[in-house]
Amino acid sequence: MKNISLRGGEFLLREVEPSQVFTPEDFTSEDQAIAQAAEDFVRGEVQTRNAEIEKQAEGVTVGLLKKAGELGLLSGDLPEAYGGLNLSKTTSTLLAEKMSLQASFAVSWGAHVGIGTLPILFFGTPEQKQKYLPKLATGEMIAAFSLSEANCGSDPLSARTKATLSPDGKYYLLNGEKMWTTNAGWADLFIVFAKVDGEKFTAFIVERNFPGVSVGREEHKLGIKGSSTRRVILENAQVPVENVLHEIGKGHHVAFGVLNIGRFKLAAATLGGAKEALTIATRYAKDRQQFGQPIANFGLIRQKLAEMAIQIYALESTVYRTAGMLDEVFHGIDATAPDANAQYREADEEYPVECAILKVFGSEVLDFVADETMQIHGGFGYTEEFPAAQIYRDSRINRIFEGTNEINRLLMLDQLMRRALKGKLPGLMEKIQALRAELNQPQMPTPDPADPLEAIGRYVVNAKKAVLITAGMAAEQVGTELEEKQEIVGHLADCLIQLYAMESVWLRTRKLQQKGLDITIPLAMARVFAYDAFDKIEASARRAIHSFAEGDMLQILLTALKRYTRRTAEVNTMALRRQIAEYVTQHERAWSAAGK
Amino acid sequence: MKVLVTVKRVPDPYAKISPNADGTDIAREGLTMAVNPFDEIALEEAIRLKEAGKATEIVAVSIGGAESQEQLRTALAMGADRAILVQTEEPLDPPSIARLLAAIVQREQPQLILMGKQAIDMDDNQVGQMLAAILNLPQATFASKITIEDSTATVERETDNGIETIRVPLPAVITADLRLNEPRYVALTGIVRARTKPLETLTPADLGITPKARVRLKKVEKPPARQAGKRVADVKELVRLLKEEARVI
């Protein structure tokens, strides 16, 4: 096991130093150059062809994917041995953010480089990697991922697609129909899941040209209309036995393994989309005159612009902190080593809790930002004459795909419990016991530290205690039934999301301060975010407590919650938001130390 | 044929520019910087000459602070073979830049010097012409098409009277206009490859030059805000105002 600063789920237990986390301010000039190259391509080639992409004009998106391949924009996560650039996870996350300034293309790109390509990198044999990865790196082949079926979405293991070995033992014959395959219209290769002999859930690499493989018509979607979504139809599809991916009966490793990274990358994409929407909303608010002045002058519009910027700052802090953690576990894996796949799997399985948090948080931030972009545009936003309508439509899918946000909320707690049971969260039980003991001690309330950043640091420590005691007591009181009581799990998941984001914001802002950078705006954002996140944590924890505790226990827990969520510092959120809105309207973008 | 290309670090053409607090310069904090777009066109032309087998080596040169290395790395990522930074924090004017460049040309002995016709920050449009004068080399400015054959360049120049075609013997200084070409996107593979390409740093003293700017930047200020329009009663008043206030007729 690698020596890493924070194991998966440990953020709940331990305090972290700002120097241990990665922040966007840590990028090198080469990283910035990579981001700029990606942004130039997307702004120059992709955004300019928005209308054609959205109509799915023949060959446009696939042509852009191939052009992206020529520029190396498809090969960031791949090792050099297979034609990749072997970028660090932080840099490839920055790349994903910049590739996501046009939502349909972002989805086409993301499906190819993520869930389409990574299964082969993480689970393929050396021969499969050599055969497919270099072509996927250049865009010579475009990849897709086919897991869902009409009656199997959130429960992929219930798949009906079958694989039967041919009499001569050379092929598996696949039969069934896969739904919602992104890139199906132009993919050359599909990662398909089917049950061998109707039982053993297995992944296969299926080329489009294999006999018996075809695709259905385009689905008529609400948004991301420029991405291709079709069924993949398998009628005695002949898949050579050497195209079985990973072990027979172990398809769930493949399916769930790449979904961790997929969820994380989705959050990076929502960050790119949200920043773009904020810029569009801000320009409109400055341009649109009512009552003789730009609507950007009005308090309720400023409040929206500020809140969008704050949520984006929180998402950005959370995304890149997690990218840094992923970097620690993925760094130094030798792609050609005999145990490369085992190393990839170990790395990939470290942070499922954080990846699920990111997926939910990112998609909900983007939806909030898209909704406010629409609202700021008023009636014009509801027409196709302005970009707000497309932003609004395109955003919504993110809460649904890569595991619905409901599934991801359940997953967070499920994975935390599993890690605790496996002994991967040492000190958890002791910590909860210590908190219980602390509850019996009378405590004199002390005022918040005068320094606002110090105060946020204390909120983070206390919020962890509030969440731990609530989750710990929920597990104790409800026990194995907790899984059945999804409502409680949902409240706890909401606590985890806000806690992780709040801590990430605190760490980043502190690190900015330590670097000697101007933190006027980051500090204002951190103060408002921490204030509201703490309110949300308190509300969710209270709802959870009321759902499982009664009598004395209820009173004890409510007292504990009150103790840990007590705050005395003055926070004029109106004044702070106005300050943030001033920055946003002046720069027409979210806050950035780098000036872009 | 060795080609020398100039690469100046300038504010990103899409960045919002404002004066700094004391009006001595533009506000540079948090400002995104880029390769001067006209230099980028010059570099693209050099790369195309190399791809066509006409150029053998492309040397990118920049004059400025250490941060200009970023723009030289971009040039290396696009396709330059090596880079030279003449590092100085001194404020320079076109004659001193031309003198420094002339020293680099004498050191490198390129057959072709390709530069942007001007940099978009100061818009001087002087360095190319001055460099040619110092070195006593032929010059072809505002190039919209360049054809190299043997040791001559045929250049189409964009002038106010139309396209002028001239022929210059090499070595020569050619400055690029907007329509010469459309620069390529920087490839990620290029950025990674640029890590290992040589980037040499020199000082003006290494070149035996002590630059002394004769032109001084005195003040940077915002253009006056546009006045709101006013309503006039009749044509007579309009004519009077155009004469007396606007003074355009």
pLDDT digits (tens, 9 = 90+) for B207-223: 999 988 888 889 999 98
pLDDT at position B139: 97
**How high is the ipTM of this complex?**
0.84
Domain extent listing, chain A: 143-250, 427-587
If you measure CA to CA, which chain B residue comes closest to A138?
B189
Q: Is the pLDDT of residue B107 over 70?
A: yes
Write the DSSP string, A546-590: HHH--HHHHHHHHHHHHHHT---S---HHHHHHHHHHHHHHHTS-
Contact, A388 vs A373, CB < 8 A? yes
**Given an 8 Å threshold on Cβ–Cβ distance, is A37 in contact with B185?**
yes
- Whether the upstream peptide bond of residue A167 has omega within 30° of 0, thus cis, is no
pLDDT at position A191: 98
| CB-closest option in B31, B70, B186 to A37 | B186
Which tens digit of pLDDT belongs to each residue from A443-466? 777 888 999 999 999 999 999 999
**3-class SS at A420?**
helix
CATH number at residue B181: 3.40.50.620
Which tens digit of pLDDT belongs to each residue from A267-282? 999 999 999 999 999 9
Mean pLDDT over A182-190 rounds to: 97
Mean pLDDT over A514-521 rounds to: 94
A71 touches chain B (CB under 8 A): yes
pLDDT at position A596: 52
Task: Tell me which chain A residues have a C-beta less than 8 angstroms from the C-beta of B185.
Answer: 37, 40-41, 44-45, 71
Which tens digit of pLDDT belongs to each residue from B112-157? 999 999 999 999 999 999 999 999 999 999 999 999 998 999 999 9
Q: Count of domains in chain B?
A: 1
CA pair distance A51, A45, nearest whole angstrom: 12
Which of B185, B196, B197, B222 is best to mutate for the A interface (most A CBs within 10 A)? B185
Write the DSSP string, A58-127: TTHHHHHHHHHHHTTTT-TTS-GGGT-----HHHHHHHHHHTTSSHHHHHHHHHIIIIITHHHHHH--HH
pTM of the model: 0.93
Task: Tell me which chain B residues have a C-beta less than 8 angstroms from the C-beta of A40.
Answer: 185-186
From A402, A550, A582, A588, the catalytic residue:
A402
pLDDT at position A442: 79
**Residue B182 is assigned to a structural domain of this protein:** yes
pLDDT at position A387: 97
pLDDT bin (cut points 50, 70, 90) of residue B230 is confident
Give the minimum alpha-carbon distance from A211 to chain B in angstroms, rounded to a whole number. 36
**Given an 8 Å threshold on Cβ–Cβ distance, is B192 in contact with A45?**
no
pLDDT at position A582: 97
CA pair distance A175, A410, nearest whole angstrom: 32
**Given an 8 Å threshold on Cβ–Cβ distance, is B195 in contact with A30?**
yes
Which tens digit of pLDDT belongs to each residue from A115-144? 999 999 999 999 999 999 999 999 999 999
- Identify which of B224, B223, B218, B225 has the alpha carbon closest to the alpha carbon of residue B25: B218
Mean pLDDT over A483-495 rounds to: 95
pLDDT bin (cut points 50, 70, 90) of residue A152 is confident
pLDDT bin (cut points 50, 70, 90) of residue B196 is very high
**Residue B230 is assigned to a structural domain of this protein:** no
CATH architecture of A427-587: Up-down Bundle (1.20)
pLDDT at position A595: 59
CB atoms within 10 A of CB A383: 10
CATH architecture of A143-250: Beta Barrel (2.40)
**Residue B240 is assigned to a structural domain of this protein:** no
**Given an 8 Å threshold on Cβ–Cβ distance, is A41 in contact with B185?**
yes
pLDDT bin (cut points 50, 70, 90) of residue A238 is very high
List beta partners, residue B165: B156
CB atoms within 10 A of CB A398: 27
CA pair distance B8, B64, nearest whole angstrom: 8
Q: What is the mean pLDDT of chain B?
A: 94
End-to-end alpha-carbon separation of chain A, Å?
A: 38
**Residue B148 is assigned to a structural domain of this protein:** yes
Task: Tell me which chain A residues have a C-beta less than 8 angstroms from the C-beta of B188.
Answer: 34, 37-38, 71-73, 75-76, 85, 87, 95
Q: What is the mean pLDDT of chain A?
A: 95
Q: Show the domain range for B141.
A: 2-223
pLDDT at position A1: 58
Among the residue ranges A452-466, A478-492, B133-147, B184-198, the one predicted with the least confidence is A478-492
Does the annotation count A402 as an active-site position?
yes
**3-class SS at B172?**
strand
Give the minimum alpha-carbon distance from B104 to chain A in angstroms, rounded to a whole number. 26
**Given an 8 Å threshold on Cβ–Cβ distance, is B188 in contact with A37?**
yes
If you measure CA to CA, which chain B residue comes closest to A31?
B191
pLDDT at position A440: 81
DSSP state of A309: H
Q: What percent of chain A has pLDDT over 90?
A: 88
CA pair distance B124, B138, nearest whole angstrom: 20
Which tens digit of pLDDT belongs to each residue from A4-50? 889 999 999 998 999 999 999 999 999 999 999 999 999 999 999 99
> H helices then E strands: how many in chain A?
19, 10
CB atoms within 10 A of CB B33: 16
CA pair distance A556, A542, nearest whole angstrom: 12
Mean pLDDT over A279-304 rounds to: 97
pLDDT at position A438: 86
